[in-house]
Structure 1
Amino acid sequence: MTARSHTHEDTPAPVSHAGVALEARHLVKDFRGFRATNDVSLQIHEGEIHAIIGPNGAGKTTLFNLLSGFLRPTSGEVHLFGQRVDQLRPFEIVRRGLSRSFQISSVFPSMTVRQNVLVALQSPTTLPHQFWTPLARLESLGEQADQILEDVGLGTAHARLAADLSHGEKRQLEIGISLTQHPKVLLLDEPTSGMGSEGVARVIALVRQVARGRTVVLVEHNMSVVAELADRITVLQYGAVLASGQYEEVRHDPRVIEAYLGEEGH
């Protein structure tokens, strides 16, 4: 593996890491006697790409659900830009600047690519109160939709049905849908899952692009992707933080090598 590297063209503008964008404080989540997260504390700084890794069953998705409000912690707190948010509903957290994608595809397959983005764009407006708003009435948001599709590399696919997209293109669309909320913090759950090398390369480039001016947190199994993208890493094992720090520091940690990386860590 190699440490994160960017070409000059891909390098985001420098962003101060002084502020903490997202923080977990002693998070515990129990499910009927099973402890999925155990006293998890971490700080994710503004402007960084932070990867959360660990073996299957380590608690990564549970942690994502706690950070984004889809689960309430048994104990502990989540803070977004210094404000406690773990008692808020997911849409309220979105309005405070955090958005996420999901590991399982969440697009509307019978709608076009552009229509998927238009529907997502309406949620911060007054239009959600009119749930059955005809798509034609959403055209006031068309310029924004077109720009987002260009940003995620789907500008020429706007008229295709989402059902006809490749797996990688659906992931691009999902990231585009996440961007409709203009997030300051973006959580990506397994963005390269199930992809071949070409799709992985495309997503790496996309994540670099969307990270400009915002904080990105990703759960990712592909260590090559982590090596390319991550400024800092948190490693989970059995629901607890095993190690956290800069990529080079973590990859040489004997506990991490033994628990997860194996020969990849060398």
Structure 2
Amino acid sequence: MTSPSSSAHGAAVPPAALDTILEARHLVKEFRGFRATNDVTLGIREGEIHAIIGPNGAGKTTLFNLLSGFLKPTSGEVRLSGERIDTLPPHQIVRRGLSRSFQISSVFPTMTVRENVLVALQSPTPLPHQFWTPLSRLDSLNDQADRILTDVGLADAPTRLAADLSHGEKRQLEIGISLTQNPKVLLLDEPTSGMGSEGVARVIDLVRQVARGRTVVLVEHNMSVVAELANRITVLQYGSVLASGVYDDVRRDPRVIEAYLGDEAHA
């Protein structure tokens, strides 16, 4: 068995991270002649935390949208556990084990924290189609919802309105909603965006928590977060893969320094 890779910076590659669970093959996405992603080939290993980084406009969110089915590729394909999924709608991709959060808050502000999770939990069940079923039918899901809220650090806030949550707490709730389908792969789009140091530290701990037993892929600008969490990193530039590898190798790559890291590489 291959021994885990480790370095002075970045997380060790876990021993379980041997098989590719999520794969992009020669992905191209064009918008009226503009290539937002250009022949992106990428393999995410099972059990790892993999960071996607790059300057603004590099194609990171477009890549996430392609991986999760919110955009269809112009050419190329996406595979999850060996099955091609780029032809499927997003809800079917979720049911096959891939879930995601979004850069912009996507909670229901007028609902409570627990209700936000309950709505997501009931979506794959017959309950959404039983219009005259009393709300008490959702009680069977309360225990599951509360376990998820405990996992994301919101156990003391089930009856608070989502609108009253802080920015960081909304991020925690969004991750909780993403966990309701028990995904094998979780995509997190800039989970620390707009946060202060305390919120960032909380999200780092949360990502470590939710990564137990699953694969996490995150788009992240904060390089200290990437260094803390990522087993491997892929750098995008102009829609193409510029470099990929463990943190120390990537941060010393002259192409990455010039394109993105600059003085951070010497910090």
Indicate whether the TM-score tops 0.5: yes
Corresponding position of 1:162? 162
Find the residue that maps to 2:56 and give its secondary structure.
Answer: coil
> Closer, same or farther in 2 for the Cα pair 1:41/1:213, shift >3 Å?
same
For residues 42 and 231 of structure 2, the distance between their equivalents in structure 1, rounded to whole angstroms, comes to 14
Report the AA paired with residue 91 of structure 2: F
The answer as to 2:10 corresponding to 1:4 is yes
The answer as to 2:70 corresponding to 1:43 is no
CA offset digits 1:135-162 (Å, max 9, x no partner)? 4321110000000000000000111000
Corresponding position of 2:59? 59
Give TM-score, length-normalised by structure 1.
0.94
Taking every aligned residue pair, what percent have the same amino acid on both sides?
81
Is the contact between residue 171 and residue 191 of structure 1 (CA under 8 Å) also seen in structure 2? yes
Find the residue that maps to 1:207 and give its secondary structure.
Answer: helix
> What number of residue pairs does the alignment pair up?
259
Give TM-score, length-normalised by structure 2.
0.94
The answer as to 2:84 corresponding to 1:78 is no
> Closer, same or farther in 2 for the Cα pair 1:64/1:75, shift >3 Å?
same
Q: Using the TM superposition, give the Cα deviation of residue 5 of structure 1 relative to its aligned residue in structure 2, in angstroms.
A: 5.1
> Closer, same or farther in 2 for the Cα pair 1:233/1:30, shift >3 Å?
same
Is the contact between residue 51 and residue 234 of structure 2 (CA under 8 Å) also seen in structure 1? yes
Report the AA paired with residue 232 of structure 1: R
For residues 144 and 162 of structure 1, the distance between their equivalents in structure 2, rounded to whole angstroms, comes to 19
Aligned pairs for 1:95-174 (under 5 A) are 95-130=95-130, 135-174=135-174
Corresponding position of 2:4? none
For residues 133 and 30 of structure 1, the distance between their equivalents in structure 2, rounded to whole angstroms, comes to 45
CA offset digits 1:174-232 (Å, max 9, x no partner)? 00000001000000000000000000000000000000000000000000100000000
Q: Using the TM superposition, give the Cα deviation of residue 128 of structure 1 relative to its aligned residue in structure 2, in angstroms.
A: 2.8
The answer as to 2:257 corresponding to 1:251 is no
Q: Using the TM superposition, give the Cα deviation of residue 260 of structure 1 relative to its aligned residue in structure 2, in angstroms.
A: 0.1
Is the contact between residue 70 and residue 90 of structure 1 (CA under 8 Å) also seen in structure 2? yes
> Closer, same or farther in 2 for the Cα pair 1:132/1:56, shift >3 Å?
farther
Find the residue that maps to 1:155 and give its secondary structure.
Answer: coil
Is the contact between residue 107 and residue 170 of structure 2 (CA under 8 Å) also seen in structure 1? yes
For residues 192 and 183 of structure 1, the distance between their equivalents in structure 2, rounded to whole angstroms, comes to 21
Q: Using the TM superposition, give the Cα deviation of residue 134 of structure 1 relative to its aligned residue in structure 2, in angstroms.
A: 5.1
For residues 172 and 103 of structure 2, the distance between their equivalents in structure 1, rounded to whole angstroms, comes to 12
Is the contact between residue 10 and residue 246 of structure 2 (CA under 8 Å) also seen in structure 1? no
Report the AA paired with residue 253 of structure 2: D
For residues 56 and 134 of structure 1, the distance between their equivalents in structure 2, rounded to whole angstroms, comes to 47
Is the contact between residue 11 and residue 230 of structure 2 (CA under 8 Å) also seen in structure 1? no
Aligned pairs for 1:190-209 (under 5 A) are 190-209=190-209
Find the residue that maps to 2:192 and give its secondary structure.
Answer: coil
For residues 160 and 134 of structure 1, the distance between their equivalents in structure 2, rounded to whole angstroms, comes to 22
**Unaligned ranges ≥5, structure 2:** 1-7
Find the residue that maps to 2:256 and give its secondary structure.
Answer: helix
For residues 93 and 170 of structure 1, the distance between their equivalents in structure 2, rounded to whole angstroms, comes to 24
Report the AA paired with residue 165 of structure 1: L
For residues 107 and 132 of structure 1, the distance between their equivalents in structure 2, rounded to whole angstroms, comes to 24
For residues 248 and 192 of structure 2, the distance between their equivalents in structure 1, rounded to whole angstroms, comes to 22
Between 1:124-133 and 1:244-253, the stretch displaced more is 124-133
Q: Using the TM superposition, give the Cα deviation of residue 131 of structure 1 relative to its aligned residue in structure 2, in angstroms.
A: 6.0
For residues 21 and 139 of structure 2, the distance between their equivalents in structure 1, rounded to whole angstroms, comes to 33
Corresponding position of 1:181? 181
Corresponding position of 1:9? none
Q: Which runs of at least 4 in structure 1 moved beyond 6 Å after TM superposition?
A: none
Is the contact between residue 115 and residue 135 of structure 1 (CA under 8 Å) also seen in structure 2? no
